[in-house]
Every structure is written in C-alpha cells, then in structure tokens.
Chains A and B, each alone.
Chain A
Amino acid sequence: MKKTLSLLLLISLLLGFALGTAQAEPALSEDGRFPVETVKIGFVNYDTSAEQVLAIQSYFEYLQTAFNFEVIWSEALNSAAAEFAFIEQCAAAGCKAIIGYYNEGKSESVKLAADLGMYYFGGAVNADIYEPEKNNPFYVGGYISGAEQDENYLAGYAVGKALVDAGSKKVIVMSGGKDFGVEFFVKRYNGIMDALNEGGAEVVYEVPGWPGTEAFAAHQTAALQTEADGLAGTLTCMMWLQPMQNAGKMGQIKVAGIETVSEGLVGLMQGGIYVGAFSEIPDMFGLSIPMILNAVTGYGEQQRNPDGSAGRVKVLNWVITNPEDMAYFAKLLSGEGDERVFSIEDLKTVMGAYNPDFTLDDMSTLYSAVTADEIRARHAQ
C-alpha cells in the first residue's frame, strides 16, 4: 500500500512538473521562435556604418534565432522630419514598435509612434523625451545609468584613475568638445581631472577640439614634445597611436580613453600601451527586444514602474583595466561561440512569456551585472 501511494505520488509529481514545464514554454512559430507571429520593428538610426550600430545588428541577428522579430533599419537620418517619415513608413509596413536609437523629434517621435499604434523604446535617459510621454501606454521606456553618479563623469574618472594606477604622473588630457560647452565632454573632463588630482598627477598639456583638424594636429605634435607619461581621452585615443609611433613615444606614454571594445585594443593592452578603457556595451540595446516583445504579448504592465509610468532599466557600462577582461569582452561581442554578454536564456528570464513573475527590478539586475566575473557566473548557472 505504501509503495502504491509512493508510486502515485511520484507519478502525480512528474505529471505536475511536465504540465508546469509546458505552461512555462510559450507557443512558438513554425520555425520554433517566439512569438508565433513575426513582430516587425523599426530602428531609427543616424549612422549606418557606426561600429556600435554594426554590433547591434550582429546581436539582433543572434537574438532572431530564438525570437520571431524582423527589423526595418532606417538609412542615416539627420533631422526630425526624416525621422517622422521613417516612423510613418514603418507603421505602413506593419511595424509593431519603434526603437529610437536616434531621436531628433524628442517626445513628438514617441507621440507619433503611439498615434500610429506602435510601441516606442528609447530615450528614457533624456528628460525631454521621457517626462512628457512617460504615462503614454505605448511608450515602453528604455534604459538609464545605474550608477549613483553621472555616467559620463564616472567614465572620465575611470580613465584618469586607470592612468594614476598605472603610475602616470605627467598626463596629456584630450578634452574633446569641453571648450565648446558640450555637456558630456565637460563631465568626462571633470571626472578625469578629479581622478588625476586625487592621484597626485599633473596635466602637462591639454589638447582641445576634435581630431581631423590642423589645430588638433598642431596641439598633438606639441603635446608629444612634453615629458608626458600618460594620455587621458574624453573620447577614443586611437588617433594618437601613429603620432606617438612617429615621435618615438610608443610605450613611454600610457593611454586610457573612451573606447569601443575590439580585438585591436586587446593587443594594445597586452603590449602595455593601453592601461584603461571605458566602453559602452552595444548589446545593451538588445534590452529593446524583451521590452517590446513583452508589450506586444501582453506583459507590458509588468515592466512599468509602480506608478504606471514607462520602465527605466538601470544599466552599467564596462571599465576595463586588464587585457584578460578586454579579450573576454571582445570575444563576447564578436559572436564567436555561444556566449554573449546577454544571452537568449538571459533575456528569457525577463520575458513574461517565459517567466510570468519577472519584474522591472529583474531587468535592472540583469543589465547591471556586466563585469567579467558577473557574466561568467551568470553563464555558469
């Protein structure tokens, strides 16, 4: 009797488990992707050849192996009028959502997409976009910095600190658009200066403006004639490598800047030329896919704030100070192998169809865990 009861209990448990599993697996399309019907999405873009855009395209192709969505990529748009035209064309083409990678029309772009019955992702970091439309049910939100301080200040601080930690005492600072009042350059510059001051390093030369001008080249030449042992950039420092080589300073000046993770940077870090890099994570924009699919499949409310306003997912970026991490991140972004910064399985944990209990906090937790150790730990599970 006891054995029979145990057997019945086991069978019922197995049956319950099987049923439970079946409920967690949503209905799929004929080719095994979620959801059943293809979700068309318009992607508003301003530079079709930008490295970050190409990386996003590659990541979306990876996600498309599991999720049933198509993307209509805009051409290089440069005005709100062109952006509006693209949004309208997407509506006519049957798009269910717009990803605002570029937004010149501010909140009007969100309003137009909503007016045409499409969800809108992006712009959550921009008060001009977020505040007027945050209660619009078609606005799903986007991401904001999860850092306690300003992201651009922290980027600059990380760059300055990497140089100080590497022992640099006399530093060239490339200030970009700081003197033109460009806000994010000012913040990055302030971050660099604070880190250098705290570390007891001095600025021996400040190079203003953007590369590609005669003035910039003249400053660059003058800066390389100083006794600098460090270079801090409010933007990428790649354009310094050749002049440093020509001036015979390669290896003598350690470099840190705002960079895009690449195989090239791995070699430069291994060679001791680069000692630090702050990098945005292109795959971060993949957050748009679970948020849009949640909205389309009826789980949109769960990813909104408790007051009903559009969700703002907290994210962090990469501060890279060793070649091992750089190599690991470059491999993740290259698409080689199955491992990604945010894998398909990771995304499923914040999609209502796979995890009906997910919350907005779950999204922030996932997208804030971006160090090499955190990614490895997540994928080891």
Chain B
Amino acid sequence: MKNRWETIKNYFPLLGLLILVVFFSIATGGALLSPISLQSLLNQVIATALVALGSVFVFGSGNFDMSLGACLSLSAVLGGMADIATGSLIVAFLVCIGLSLLLGLLKGLFASFVDVPLFIVTIVLGSLLSAFTLFILGDASAVHLKDALQPLPSFSFSQMSVINLVVLLSYFSLCLVLFLFMPIGRQVKILGGNAVTARQSGIPIKKVKVGAFLIGALGIGLAAFVILVRVRNIGASTASSMGTDVMIALVLGGMPLSGGPRSRISAGLVGATSITVLNAGLTMMGLNIAVIQIFRAVVFLVVVYVASMTYRTRLLPR
C-alpha cells in the first residue's frame, strides 16, 4: 500500500499540470487548446524547457547554477553579432553552441577543482557575463538581425513552431537517453544524493560534474539559438529571468533543487510546461495585473506543496 502511494506521488507534478490545463481550458472557453494557442505554448515553452532539461543534470548532481540567464543572453548576443557579420545562420548556431559549451566547461572545472560554493561562483559569473554583454553591446540596446550582411530567412509563426518542436524533441530524447540509459545519469543522481558515497563508490566525480555542465550548456546554447532566430532582436535583458524560471520549473516538475536520487528528466519538461500554461492562461483570461500576480502566487504555492510531497525535507540546496 505504501509503495503504491509512493508511485502515485511521483505523478503529482503531471497531475498538477493536468489540473492547470483543465482549469484554464474551462476559464478561457476552450481558447487555451486552440491550434494557435497550442503553437504559441510550444513557442513559449521552448527556451525554458531546453535550459531546464539540461539543468536536471547540473542541479541533479548537487550543483546550483545561478548564471543560466546571463550565459544564454551572452550566447545569443554573440550569435547575433556573428550572424550580422557573416550573414550565416550556421555560423550563428556554432557561436551560440560553442560559447555556451565553453562557459559550461568553465563552470564544470570550477565545480570540480575550486573549493568555493558553486552558487556563489555562478552569481559572480552571472554578473560578470551580464556586464560583458552590456559592454559589447556598447551604445546599442540590442543586436538586430535585420542588420545582417545578407538577408536572413524569416520564419512564420507556424514554421517557428515546427522548428521548436524538432529542437525540443531532439534534445529531450538526448537527455532522456543519457539520464536513463547511460552511466552519467545514475552517477549524477548518486553524486547529488551523497558526494562521499559517490567518491567511495568509485564514481569519477570531476568528470561527472564537467559532463553535467556540458550537457546543461548544450541546452542553453540551443535555447540561445532558438530565441535568436525567433525574436531577431537580442539585448542584455533577453532571458534575464531564465535562472528563476528554470528553478521554479524544476520544483514544479517535482524535482528537489538539491538534486540526488529524486531527480528526473521529466521535471524539466513538465515544470516548464506548467509555468507556460499558467502564464498563458492567466493572460488569456484578461484579468487585472494585480489579480494575475496574486493568482499566480497562490497556484505556485499549491503546486509546489503538492509536487514537493515526495522530497519535503530536501527542497533547499545544501
């Protein structure tokens, strides 16, 4: 009986998402599930989902990354600049991914070799990267792809939805395989659960940490590129709330931010979708801004309470 209850509790985040969808479908008179709305939800969920999926490896291994938004913003801005200089989306893609991986490697090395709490390192890194982004932007508030050397293909709302779906499914599949079927998935959870046990079990801790950050960085790079192609105007404020969004998404998805054995790859996707549905639903209801904020706070509290039932004592990072 107890095991069955434990199994049921694992589905609480999904249940929370389902309740949100049903509630807002009724509240918006079915508009939430209209074709336009579904495409819109996909376009909105993509960036948070990509970063959150990769962050399952980072947070799952017991590391706390506060520089997600700044890394994404810098990658997108430099990708945009590369695009403007060369007129090539492929070059922009390589810059977004390459820079993001480089920053991921840097964070992984810090986590592995420098004995300083990583969340402090990433707070400082985030500030540094934001300042650097402002510096390279100079007098401009943003980079605009319309200034590119060659005209770039412009994607319609529907085309963008297809691109987003392909990118999201590809990265989700990769993360799923790595997390469930490759050693790194198990090692991440053991490391996040207890670093001493992980060491005594012979897990290559440094390699796992670097690997986790690189997988996370791939998600950030993909998110930077997708935002760049879709928005085409990238500034320092782009994705500025990404760090918070991802943490909320992971919690809503039923994963403790301290990582460990309760980490799950579905948390990134379910949590990101929950946030997106909540925000979209509230906007579509046309409520007063103050009411929206109160409503959102109450829903967050309820969903987090329900989702955290499986790890109540381990919500905060150690």
Contact = CB atoms under 8 A, between A and B. Distances in A.
B58 interface: no
Contacts of B239: 79, 81
B53 to A, nearest CB: 18
B139 A181 contact: yes
B316 interface: no
B284 interface: yes
Interface stretch (A101-109, A223-231, A294-302, A304-312): A101-109
B121 to A, nearest CB: 26
Nearest to A180: B139
B240 A128 contact: no
A81 B47 contact: yes
Interface string A366-380: 000000000000000
B31 A94 contact: yes
A85 interface: yes
Interface stretch (A69-77, A212-220, A355-363): A69-77
B283 interface: yes
B36 A92 contact: yes
Contacts of B142: 80, 104
Interface in A71-97: 71-75, 78-81, 84-86, 88-94
Interface string A114-135: 0110000000000010001000
Contacts of A73: 288-289
Given A104-B142, A115-B156, A80 B286 contact: no
A132 B146 contact: yes
A107 B28 CA distance: 29
A314 interface: no
Contact of B238 (A72, A75, A80): A80
B67 to A, nearest CB: 17
Contacts of B154: 111
A33 interface: no
A9 to B, nearest CB: 54
A74 B47 contact: no
A78 B289 CA distance: 16
A85 B232 CA distance: 14
A139 B21 CA distance: 33
Contacts of B146: 106-107, 128, 132
Given A81-B227, A92-B37, A108-B232, A75 B292 contact: yes
A106 B292 contact: no
B283 A72 contact: yes
B164 to A, nearest CB: 12
A56 to B, nearest CB: 13
Nearest to A86: B283
A40 B238 CA distance: 28
A116 B36 contact: yes
Contact of A128 (B31, B144, B283): B144
Interface string A138-167: 000000000000000000000000000000
Contacts of B233: 80, 104-106, 108
Nearest to B157: A115
B283 A116 contact: no
Contacts of A78: 237, 240
Contact of A89 (B157, B230, B234, B284): B284
B243 interface: no
Contact of A84 (B231, B235, B285, B289): B231
A57 B247 CA distance: 34
B130 interface: no
Interface string B185-226: 000000000000000000000000000000000000000000
Contacts, number: 98
B280 interface: yes
Contacts of A112: 157
A48 interface: yes
B231 A93 contact: no
B32 to A, nearest CB: 7
A40 B36 contact: no
Contacts of B139: 181
Interface in B108-161: 139, 142, 144, 146, 154, 156-157
B283 A40 contact: no
Nearest to B233: A80
A73 B291 CA distance: 12
Given A79-B239, A112-B157, A181-B139, A88 B144 contact: no
B173 interface: no
Nearest to A92: B37
Contacts of B31: 92-94
A115 B284 CA distance: 19
Contacts of A70: 286
Contact of B231 (A71, A91, A108): A108
A210 to B, nearest CB: 16
B40 A92 contact: yes
B231 A80 contact: yes
Contacts of A74: 283
Contacts of A86: 283
Contacts of B47: 81
B284 A92 contact: yes
A89 B31 CA distance: 10
Interface in B1-37: 28, 31-32, 34, 36-37
A93 B284 contact: yes
A19 to B, nearest CB: 39
B204 to A, nearest CB: 38
A186 B54 CA distance: 46
Given A80-B232, A89-B44, A105-B231, 7 more contacts: A40-B286, A70-B286, A78-B237, A80-B231, A81-B227, A93-B28, A108-B231
18 contacts: A72-B284, A72-B286, A73-B289, A78-B237, A79-B238, A80-B234, A84-B230, A84-B231, A85-B43, A86-B283, A89-B44, A89-B284, A92-B37, A93-B285, A111-B154, A115-B156, A115-B157, A132-B146
Interface of B: 28, 31-32, 34, 36-37, 39-40, 43-44, 47, 139, 142, 144, 146, 154, 156-157, 227, 230-235, 237-240, 279-280, 283-286, 288-289, 292-293
Kindly list the 8 A-B residue pairs having the minimum CB-CB distance in the complex, ordered from nearest: A92-B37, A88-B40, A93-B284, A80-B231, A89-B283, A80-B233, A85-B44, A72-B286
